[in-house]
Amino acid sequence: MKKNTIIYHYVQALVNSLNRHGKDSASILASCGISAYEAENSHLRISTENFVNLLKQTILELDDEHFGLIEQPLPIGSFFYASHVMSSCANLGKALELGFGYYQLHCQAYQLELYTTGDEVEIRVVLANPELDPEHLLAEFILNAWHRFASWLIGKNIIIRCASFDYSPPAHESEYQYLFPGIRKFNQPFLSLSFSKDYLAMPIIKKNTGELEQYLKNTFQNLLFTPIDDQSLSAKIRLIIEDFEENNFPSFTLVADKLFMTEKTLRAKLNKEGVSYQKIKDFMRRDSAIYYLTKQHLSIAEIAYKTGFSEPSGFIRAFKKWTGLTPTVYRGKEE
């Protein structure tokens, strides 16, 4: 059931950048599998597969690894070489030092610095021209990418203590709980991520060239969407569900057994994370349904079955509750 979706806000940020650079964004969207209906309805969610296609195409069109959101383009291949430099280091501290140095030599669009105070270390980012990033896509991408890649290098999720942003809470702030778990602060003097200093001494375990090459084949999926050793119960439950047939969810009792917990304990722990088993199932069903609705050859009845509903009517009611629209309207056809 790995059918994640993303809010249209991020598509719009790329469209705006393409338009500013005189590109035909409509044809580019179509080539990436994003329909005109989706482009005209900003409340829709987009499959991550199509969004990744758009990221790649934007980079190729603009010859800029930072999506045209900086004054001087960052040449294609920059991350390839920086990642090889970093993976050859002994520990994460040295990798970040050399990685930051590499980008400062080749990109004047922002400053990257590492600050250590007591038992905490902070990655600070200051954009030279934040007005070129009005939707904050670049700001989010830089912070998220450094966190994900650093975590991958040491084979362990770096737990973020605090994420800071030099702008007011955006309209899509609710998405930040997934991008930047932990404390979040807005209207700060710079962009930053803080975490335990202990991570800096951890060895780089991804030294095998083959491992890095494999990682780079799916750069955006890995940097933006692939969880790095996420230890939350929500993530563990999603993995359990993904082992089952896509139209067959395991019972709560079975999930609790697989996690070696009583149902009462699991329910209490999920409550602390602010979710429930039903919500997890609903999120996964919603994303799967949206993914399948982009495949025009599938009927509503077939999608209902694939997402675990015995009757299309139940699926239609649930989908309207999730999105405010019926599946047919969401797909862009007249009812």
Examine residue 151 and state whether it is found in any structural domain, yes or no.
yes
Residue 282 lies in a domain: yes
Q: Are residues 88 and 156 in the same domain?
A: yes
Do residues 181 and 129 share a domain? yes
Token representation of residue 167: 């702008």
User: Which position has the higher pLDDT, 41 or 99?
Assistant: 99
Examine residue 199 and state whether it is found in any structural domain, yes or no: yes
Tell me whether residue 68 is in a domain. Answer: no
Within this chain, do residues 217 and 269 fall inside the same structural domain, yes or no?
Answer: no
Q: Say if residues 222 and 152 touch (Cβ distance below 8 Å).
A: yes
Say yes or no: 90 and 41 in one domain: no
* Structure confidence at residue 232 (pLDDT): 67
- Say what the pLDDT of residue 143 is: 95
How many angstroms separate the CA atoms of 4 and 2, rounded?
Answer: 6
pLDDT digits (tens, 9 = 90+) for 272-311: 767 789 988 888 888 788 878 876 678 899 998 888 888 9
Residue 221 and residue 87 in one domain = yes
- Rounded to a whole number of angstroms, the CA Rg of the chain reads 21
Is residue 30 domain-shared with residue 144, that is, in the same domain?
no
Count of the separate structural domains present in the chain = 3
List the alpha helices (DSSP H) in 199-309.
209-217, 219-220, 233-242, 252-258, 263-272, 277-293, 300-306
Are 46 and 34 within 8 A, CB to CB? yes
Is residue 334 scored above 60 in pLDDT?
A: no
Q: What is the mean pLDDT of the chain?
A: 87
Does residue 39 sit within a domain? yes
Distance CA 325, CA 321 (A): 8
Same-domain check for residues 153 and 280? no
275 with 295, same domain: the answer is yes
The one-letter amino acid code at 38 reads E
What are residue 203's DSSP bridge partners?
91
**Residue 301 structural domain:** 233-331
Q: Does residue 247 share a domain with residue 114?
A: no
Same structural domain for residues 149 and 176? yes
Report how far residue 332's alpha carbon sits from residue 318's, in angstroms, rounded to the nearest whole number.
18
Residue 320 lies in a domain: yes
Do residues 194 and 252 both lie within one domain? Answer: no
> Residue 3: what pLDDT?
61
Question: Are 88 and 161 in a shared domain?
Answer: yes
Does 92 reside within a domain?
Answer: yes
